[in-house]
Amino acid sequence: MKLDDLPRLSLGFLPTPIDDLPTLGAELGISLSVKRDDFTGFGGGGNKVRKLEFLMADAVEKGVQVVITTGGHQSNHARMTAAAARKFGMEPILVLRGNRPDAWQGNLLLDHLLGAKIDFLDPDAYFEQVNPLMQQRADEAEAEGKKAYVIPLGGASALGAMGYVNAIKELAEQYTAMGRKAPDYIVAPLGSGGTLAGITVGCSIWWPETKVMGISVTGTAVPFDQRISAMANDAAELLELDRRFDASDLLIQDDYVGPGYSIPSDAGNAAIKRAARSEGVLLDPVYTGKAMAGIIGSVENGTIAKGSDVLFVHCGGTPALFPFSGQLTTDLES
């Protein structure tokens, strides 16, 4: 099936702009630009809006009344899924990794304002309990006569990945309109993997010479290159493409996770301040700050060659800045 033939509901304020970052780029010795998917707008913005345009179209077509998904305490995906559910008259249920908070800040505050029903799972038990609990909530909804729809972590599925296949099409059109050649690298944070899978498939169609780099912000039981190549293959099959992918097609940097998922890292916090003070661009401690640290580190260690043209995908996450104010203001103590 062709991309344009897949059911899709308009949610994002698209196309999002491309900003050049000349000061930071010059400091690093590269040409650096950013795709501002923090400006997708709907539900507070972020990359997941693109995935939800396809996932919610599927849910609406199936007559869904309850949408269930999962993520971390400060999950942008959970927040935007809750907003999308409300947009289409559905009830959102969120199963979040983390204990019930003492203070509702950042994305948790927005989840509450959106009226999402929230289950909190102890982080140590999360991976064992999350899928059974989501299925339990779906079964409970069905028992009440309500059709339920479970969206996986991060919207990471072949259908969700279509959001970033479409984003590469959008980018290719923007670059052509500006008279610019395709970038040497496109870099994005890597969490659940759906964004990178979509970028990988999209680049194989429109930007085949561009290298796709993912900066891991979390660990995974299944190696990312295997997980994403499998998802990319499912997406390619959905689009009836001849191309198939394997682990060797993926360029993944695992050195910038820091202490763990949703735990700020020193390098990520430094990158947040550097981007803010050199370009006025706001990043977050969970995703984009670590990804920018990955770009900086990859240039410094030669993985990205000096003089390269690099496009960074800003996946949003500004609400997640505020719960981490303590870690981001330690320099005030001196």
Kindly compute the dihedral angle of the four CA atoms of residues 234, 235, 241, 247, in this order, to the nearest 10 degrees. -70
Catalytic, 308? Answer no
Q: Which long-range contacts (C-beta less than 8 Å, at least 24 apart) are formed by 104-109?
A: 105/322, 105/323, 106/74, 106/319, 106/320, 106/321, 106/322, 106/323, 107/44, 107/73, 107/74, 107/75, 107/76, 107/78, 107/79, 107/319, 107/320, 108/73, 108/74, 108/323, 109/319
Cis amide linkage into residue 7, ω under 30° from 0 = no
CA dist 23 and 84 (Å) reads 37
For residue 256, the SS3 value is coil
The C-alpha atoms of residue 179 and residue 18 are separated, in whole angstroms, by 13
Single-letter code of the amino acid located at 261: Y
- The closest of 207, 192, 212, 195 to 69, measured between CA atoms, is 192
- The residue from 10, 31, 33, 75 that is catalytic is 75
The 3-state DSSP class for residue 114 equals coil
In angstroms, the CA 267 to CA 334 distance is 19
* 13 in Cβ contact with 42 (< 8 Å): yes
Active site residues: 75
